[in-house]
Amino acid sequence: MDNFTYFNPTKVHFGKGQIATLKEEISPNSRVLLTYGGGSIKTNGVYEQVLDALKECAVFEFGGIEPNPHYETLIKAVAVAKQEQIDVILAVGGGSVIDGSKFIAAAACYEGDSWDIITIGGGCVQRALPLGCVLTLPATGSEMNRNSVVTRAATQDKLSFGSDLVRPVFSILDPQTTYTLPARQIANGAVDSFVHIMEQYMTYPVNAKVSDRFAEGLLLTLLEDGPAALATPDDYDVRANLMWTATMALNGTLKNGVPTDWSTHAIGHELTALYGLDHAQTLAIVMPALWRYKKEQKKGKLLQYAHRVLNITEGTEEQQIELAIQKTEDFFSQMGNPTRLSDYNLTEKDIPAVQEKLTEHGLLAIGEHKDITPHDAAEILRLAL
Amino acid sequence: MDNFTYFNPTKVHFGKGQIATLKEEISPNSRVLLTYGGGSIKTNGVYEQVLDALKECAVFEFGGIEPNPHYETLIKAVAVAKQEQIDVILAVGGGSVIDGSKFIAAAACYEGDSWDIITIGGGCVQRALPLGCVLTLPATGSEMNRNSVVTRAATQDKLSFGSDLVRPVFSILDPQTTYTLPARQIANGAVDSFVHIMEQYMTYPVNAKVSDRFAEGLLLTLLEDGPAALATPDDYDVRANLMWTATMALNGTLKNGVPTDWSTHAIGHELTALYGLDHAQTLAIVMPALWRYKKEQKKGKLLQYAHRVLNITEGTEEQQIELAIQKTEDFFSQMGNPTRLSDYNLTEKDIPAVQEKLTEHGLLAIGEHKDITPHDAAEILRLAL
């Protein structure tokens, strides 16, 4: 078991009707910047609940934060935050709105060029506005961590930063807010969560039993309740389990004492930036191919996954591993994310640009062993043609 | 799945050599009250590591905090904290030292009679000194929660309080510090952790898959690594898994979305206060008997435990439940805590006093259904004669 430091001060209010707790979390007379995305919150009742709880505050709105939030959009919100002397940012939406709002929170207090926050990283963040969240789409875990991914549309750069100063002070998770989500978003969220868990699990064994078993418990829950959420969209417990699983998947708990991978995400981010694929689609393409490419190094954990999560006990180790990968691909496909580049009309000729972008971004040696080069990434994608 | 609020801002530094992080956590020139128990930290190397990390601080010592820390002892430490104008309390030891230090932290800032903190409860705590911990005995989870249990020796009252203000700001967990613990303390710690998990698990099913599976993962780890820790006391990974399991067992994670019981603890506390039994001994006596007494109400979870944790699949439901209870008793006995009152020279005639103390303490209806009366508690103890 490896050494670790764990710290997560975000307060979570989870369950039916919890949006009303905004009244306790945000002081009366605060100047609140309410950030959101495409406007679904105005049709599903969330917006009314939020405004009702903030009746005694001055609320300013900034909508239109897109999936894979654009730097170009966010700097407009930064200008509003500065001009209106905002006290607190309230992000209402999914991971993109929250990630974008983390950038807004930091950039609103930053003196230099705010793109520094992305390129230099969170270390240059000295102050940030307090951030609260009302999560409406379980997927990224951003509601309970220090990370943010921002895309500069002009240059197709999708890059991340992290800082304890942009951790949400509180996050409100009411599973009922997810009932009206399009099936595709729920499905993508389940795949995203699944891969978050795997990035912290599918490496090599270090006898960290707590993190391993927690990861396995969350994987089992996604395998059960991901499909169930598509079949019965208004089953409260299914949505609740999915929502809490997505948060626990990336709030720091699972990485305690274990090595982490994250190469699927690194390669996937380039596919999204270059070709506009959904984040979850890129993960579904990359991860199974990466497992096949790194089968020997990941053997111990692939077998543990096969046995403990998928209950695979028959056949040779080689067969068990291949079956585990196939069953994972089946799950992704069942959740609407097929696992081949060709499923998204991409071919061999689209691969070199990914290799180049990884090189450009300095991602020269990724994965738990720091041995996946941009060339290896291209080879991995060739296994997913 | 039930609604919940989760909040846990304690920073954890876990692993080999982490005591050195005290340098980062406590500012130079701070006035530190170092609290500890019987003095084992002076023979196992922990004391030297702590002092070495605090070279630039003014360190005051208060040792001799006993198991089930006595109010009578703690108020002496409160006097030292006030007199020496202490900035921060550093508890070095197990759950009793940490629980006691939480009381000291609150009482040092309290104007009235400090016994109020116990009788009125944490609600009367308006301020507390910051508390840090170096944990040397995995058991109570106090290093990462808001709770404290204090005993007033004069009146045999063992009572608890809780406040967010006494949560440790940081806790340092180095599994190597546990190598020299007496086997009995490691064994008791494993039993205590096991029962902490069960108090949050063995109630009735509410389809909270995350908390259920996390609990099951921790129970499995204790069943494996509790005995292993006794067999091979210097196996780092075994001690690490035990230590992290004990913390996760009672840091708020497992109670998210589920009902909780805590009647075993309530009844057990009275046995300790009246007859001086170890905390873990009382739990080992009460819990199996309580499960038999409440077999119908707890049926769903007893079967889930039998299947998922103990892998019991044969026999009728009744037989599976009885076997699960027996296997739990076997585990307690294997960990040096037999499960009958007679194992501790207690008899039928010692039971009425427990019933009276529960009544005196106002514990008139406990358990997840609030239906265990002091009379029921006596009946439960009669099943453990």
B153 and B16 share one domain = yes
Which residue type does A20 have? Answer: A
A233 and A148 share one domain = no
Q: Which range of residues forms the domain containing residue A331?
A: 183-382
pLDDT of residue B156: 75
Report chain B's terminal Cα–Cα distance, integer Å: 37
pLDDT of residue A112: 92
Spell out the residues 6+ positions from residue B90 whose beta carbon is closer than 8 angstroms to its own.
Answer: B22, B26, B32, B33, B34, B35, B50, B54, B131, B132, B133, B134
Residues of chain B with pLDDT under 50: none
Q: Which of A294, A224, A239 is nearest to A14 (CA)?
A: A239
The mean pLDDT of A41-47, rounded to a whole number, is 94
pLDDT of residue A369: 98
DSSP string over B193-227: HHHHHHHHHSS-----HHHHHHHHHHHHHHHHHHH
Whole-number Å distance between alpha carbons of A372 and A263: 8
Cβ pair A209:B216 closer than 8 A: no
**Counted domains in chain B:** 2
Categorize the per-residue pLDDT at A160 as very low, low, confident or very high, splitting at 50, 70 and 90. Answer: confident
Q: Are A205 and A300 in contact (CB under 8 A)?
A: yes
pLDDT digits (tens, 9 = 90+) for A225-269: 999 999 999 999 999 999 999 999 999 999 999 999 999 999 999
Q: Which of A189, A118, A183 is nearest to A148 (CA)?
A: A118
Q: Do the domain assignments include residue B92?
A: yes
B206 and B162 share one domain = no
B247 and B367 share one domain = yes
Which residues in chain B have their CB less than 8 angstroms from residue A11's CB?
A: 5-7
Dihedral angle at the C-alpha atoms of A122, A126, A130, A133, nearest 10 degrees? 0
Q: Do the domain assignments include residue A4?
A: no
pLDDT digits (tens, 9 = 90+) for A319-368: 999 999 999 999 999 999 999 999 999 999 999 999 999 999 899 999 99
pLDDT of residue A288: 98
> What does the DSSP 8-state code read for residue A372?
B
- Chosen domain end from A158, A177, A196: A177
A195 and A342 share one domain = yes
B168 and B188 share one domain = no
Domain with B226 in it: what CATH number? 1.20.1090.10
- Chosen domain end from A177, A195, A230: A177
- The total number of residues shown for chain B amounts to 385
Q: Do the domain assignments include residue B6?
A: no
Categorize the per-residue pLDDT at A153 as very low, low, confident or very high, splitting at 50, 70 and 90. Answer: confident
Which residues in chain A have their CB less than 8 angstroms from residue B169's CB?
A: none
A297 and A190 share one domain = yes
- Chosen domain end from A177, A207, A224: A177
Whole-number Å distance between alpha carbons of B333 and A275: 62
pLDDT of residue A222: 98
A60 and A119 share one domain = yes
A208 and A353 share one domain = yes
pLDDT digits (tens, 9 = 90+) for B237-250: 999 999 999 999 99
Cβ pair B214:A209 closer than 8 A: no
Q: Do the domain assignments include residue B126?
A: yes
Domain with B112 in it: what CATH number? 3.40.50.1970
B330 and B187 share one domain = yes
Q: Do the domain assignments include residue B298?
A: yes
Q: Are B332 and B191 in contact (CB under 8 A)?
A: yes
pLDDT digits (tens, 9 = 90+) for B129-164: 999 999 999 999 999 999 999 998 888 777 889 999
The mean pLDDT of A190-218, rounded to a whole number, is 98
Q: Do the domain assignments include residue A315?
A: yes
pLDDT of residue A260: 98
B146 and B193 share one domain = no
A350 and A265 share one domain = yes
* Helix (H), strand (E) counts: chain B: 14, 8
Cβ pair B213:A218 closer than 8 A: yes
Whole-number Å distance between alpha carbons of B276 and B232: 29
Which residues in chain A have their CB less than 8 angstroms from residue B173's CB?
A: none
Q: Which of A107, A66, A99, A77 is nearest to A278 (CA)?
A: A66
Percentage of chain A beyond pLDDT 70 is 100
Which token pair is B293?
């007494």
Cβ pair A17:B3 closer than 8 A: yes
pLDDT at A158 over 90: no
Q: Do the domain assignments include residue A6?
A: no
Cβ pair B8:A9 closer than 8 A: yes
Q: Are B284 and B198 in contact (CB under 8 A)?
A: no
pLDDT at A209 over 90: yes
Q: Are B328 and B288 in contact (CB under 8 A)?
A: yes
- The total number of residues shown for chain A amounts to 385
pLDDT digits (tens, 9 = 90+) for B34-44: 999 998 999 99
Cβ pair A5:B11 closer than 8 A: yes
Task: List residues of chain A with CB under 8 Å from any CB of chain B.
Answer: 1-9, 11-18, 21, 206-210, 212-214, 216-218, 220-221, 224-225, 236-237, 240-241, 244-245, 248, 253, 256-257
Q: Which of B213, B252, B256 is nearest to B4 (CA)?
A: B256
pLDDT digits (tens, 9 = 90+) for A282-326: 999 999 999 999 999 999 999 999 999 999 999 999 999 999 999
Q: Are B293 and B285 in contact (CB under 8 A)?
A: no
pLDDT of residue B226: 98
Cβ pair A15:B1 closer than 8 A: yes
Q: Which of B194, B10, B170, B11 is nearest to B92 (CA)?
A: B170
Q: Do the domain assignments include residue A326?
A: yes
pLDDT of residue A384: 98
Which token pair is A215?
């990861």
